[in-house]
Amino acid sequence: MVKLIGTNSAGHLGWVLKYCSICNRKLVVGNDAVYTCPKCGPTSNTYYCLADHKRLRGKCPYCKSDLVPI
């Protein structure tokens, strides 16, 4: 069994598993494209999938700043 960074011995993804703030899609950091807002992200833990990033045109829906990939 290959152990990935961020997993424990049981294979639990732990901190690398995030959910899209809009569509609630399960996102694995490192495997999926995950975007966050540099202004809102640290306080509200908002994450966005690639589809919602394109739909939002790369702008945060709350503060309108540019989304950055994780």
> How many whole angstroms separate alpha carbon 29 and alpha carbon 15?
9
Residue 38 corresponds to which tokens in the numbers above? 């540099």
Report residue 1's pLDDT band, with 50, 70 and 90 as the boundaries: very low
Give domain limits for the chain. 33-70
Residue-wise pLDDT tens digits, 15-43: 688 999 999 999 988 889 999 999 998 89
Residue-wise pLDDT tens digits, 49-65: 999 999 999 999 999 99
This prediction's pTM: 0.77
Report residue 69's pLDDT band, with 50, 70 and 90 as the boundaries: very high
> How many whole angstroms separate alpha carbon 58 and alpha carbon 70?
13
